């Protein structure tokens, strides 16, 4: 079988596991490139090459796992975010493009001409912390996660990207690892899905750590804690930015208001849905 035929046949099999033909084709290409140790461009320029037996077996196993619903990011062990690729494991949430909205809004409020102290709560793969450190090289970033597995992944990502000197990953629950410390900006993509939301039993969410997804009956338990406790860890004039569900904007703005934040607002993602709420700690 040729490389091109292998992609075509796998895409046809994957249609039952993914939303549309285009995504099935993309998944097949990503998985075959991984099985071959090549990139997707190589597949296009070698479509007529025969697929050797060893690679075919590796590809067949990956396609079978994807058909069973396992996320591509976990199968290949990485996911692109911002301007780099991150190691991803089942210990971490899979980084998503929506979270780049949070990074963009944070960068818009961070000067690049002076040292900064930044905090990323619930860092997972380290995506937010590493993106901020990449764009603000004079910043010192602390990244916190409760999961030992996630902490290990975030540290490996920082090492691989050459950012371990400016991104410190600490293990613990929310603000516990930074007691007594203050920051110029706090960013977080916390769990915000309702505990009984049926979507948790669908698609990639079935395989991601539940502790990184769900937060109480209304999805706001962790957001309440973060917004309530953030002022004690912000320098005067510092910013808090949190990602949340598209129907939670009004509720999260109310939390910010109750905690005494000013300049409160909600920014929308690429699909025009409420995604990031932010506020400033009064000077």
Report the distance separating Cα 221 and Cα 155, nearest Å.
27
**Largest separation between any pair of C-alpha atoms in the chain:** 67
Q: How far apart are CA 106 and CA 281, in angstroms?
A: 14
Digit-by-digit pLDDT tens for the chain (283 residues) are: 899 999 999 999 998 777 788 889 999 999 999 999 999 999 999 999 999 999 999 999 999 999 998 999 999 999 999 999 999 999 999 999 999 999 999 999 999 989 999 999 999 999 999 999 999 999 999 999 999 999 999 999 999 999 999 999 999 999 999 999 999 999 999 998 888 888 888 888 888 888 888 888 999 999 999 999 999 999 999 999 999 999 999 999 999 999 999 999 999 988 899 999 999 999 8
Residue 14 to residue 102: CA distance in whole angstroms: 32
* Residue 121: HSE in the Cβ half-sphere, 13 Å Cα cutoff: 26
The dihedrals phi and psi of 81, each to the nearest 5 degrees, come to: -150, 135
Q: Checking DSSP bridges between strand 274-280 and strand 234-243, what pairing results, if any?
A: antiparallel
Nearest to 96 by CA among 280, 272, 270: 270
Question: 100 with 128: CB under 8 angstroms?
Answer: no
Check: CB of residue 31 under 8 Å from CB of residue 62: yes
Question: What ranges in 16-81 are assigned the alpha helix state H?
Answer: 21-36, 40-45, 53-67, 72-76
Rounded CA separation 254/154 (Å): 32
How far is CA 27 from each of CA 40, 46, 50, 63, 93, rounded to the nearest angstrom?
11, 18, 20, 9, 19
Contact criterion met (CB below 8 Å) for 118 and 142: yes
Phi/psi of residue 270, each to 5°? -65, -20
């Amino acid at each position: 079988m040729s490389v091109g035929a292998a992609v075509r046949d796998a895409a046809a099999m994957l249609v039952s596991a993914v939303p549309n033909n285009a995504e099935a084709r993309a998944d097949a290409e990503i998985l075959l490139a991984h099985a071959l140790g090549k990139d997707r461009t190589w597949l296009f320029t070698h479509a007529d090459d025969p697929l050797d037996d060893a690679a075919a077996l590796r590809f067949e196993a990956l396609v079978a796992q994807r058909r069973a619903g396992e996320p591509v990011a976990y199968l290949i062990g990485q996911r692109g975010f911002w301007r780099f690729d991150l190691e991803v494991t089942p210990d971490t949430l899979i980084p998503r493009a929506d979270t780049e909205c949070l990074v963009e809004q944070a960068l818009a409020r961070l000067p690049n001409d002076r040292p900064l102290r930044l905090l990323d709560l619930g860092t997972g793969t380290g995506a937010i912390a590493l993106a901020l450190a990449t764009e603000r090289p004079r910043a010192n970033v602390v990244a916190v996660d409760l999961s030992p597995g996630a902490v290990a992944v975030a540290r490996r990502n920082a090492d691989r990207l050459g950012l371990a000197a400016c991104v410190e990953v600490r293990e613990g629950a929310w603000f516990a690892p930074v007691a007594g410390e203050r920051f110029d900006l706090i960013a977080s993509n916390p769990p915000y899905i309702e505990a009984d939301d049926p979507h948790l039993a669908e698609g990639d969410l079935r395989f991601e750590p539940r502790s990184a997804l769900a937060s109480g009956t209304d999805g706001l338990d962790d957001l309440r804690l973060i917004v309530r406790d953030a002022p004690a860890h912000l320098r005067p004039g510092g910013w808090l930015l949190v990602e949340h569900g598209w129907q939670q904007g009004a509720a999260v703005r109310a939390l910010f208001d109750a905690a005494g934040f000013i300049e409160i607002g909600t920014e929308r993602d690429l699909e025009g849905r409420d995604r990031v709420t932010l506020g400033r700690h009064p000077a």
